Each structure stands twice: as structure tokens, then as C-alpha cells.
Amino acid sequence: MTELVGLTRVLAKELAEHGIRVNCVSPATSTRRVPPIARHAPIPKA
């Protein structure tokens, strides 16, 4: 997974001068702002 993120960053920097944006979608990932989400966790009822 780390390789994909690194490739995305390099492509984004290289292609930015041409106005091209690069995105990476990684299911079941976490960031510092969002806690990891369990794949089989029950959905809480409101």
C-alpha cells in the first residue's frame, strides 16, 4: 500500500505543472484524523 501512495505523490508533483490532478483511493485505510474502520463492524443505529 505504501508504494501506491508514494507513486501517487510522485505523479501528482510531476503532473501538477500540466494541470493534471492525481488521486489514490484506498479502501479500509486510516489517517491521523480518522480512526481505522473495521470491515465487519456493526453499523450503529441512530
DSSP assigned state of 33: S
Residue 37 lies in a domain: no
pLDDT per residue of the chain (46 residues) written in tens, 0 to 9: 678 889 999 999 999 999 999 998 876 656 666 666 655 666 667 6
Residue 5 lies in a domain: yes
Instruction: Supply the pLDDT for residue 12.
Output: 94
Residue 13 lies in a domain: yes
Cell of 17: 505543472
Strands (E), the chain: none
Number of domains in the chain: 1
Residue 40 lies in a domain: no
Instruction: Supply the pLDDT for residue 39.
Output: 59
Residue 17 structural domain? 1-25
Element (H, E) at 7: helix 2-15
Instruction: Supply the pLDDT for residue 8.
Output: 92
Judge whether 22 and 10 are in contact, CB under 8 Å: no
Instruction: Supply the pLDDT for residue 2.
Output: 78
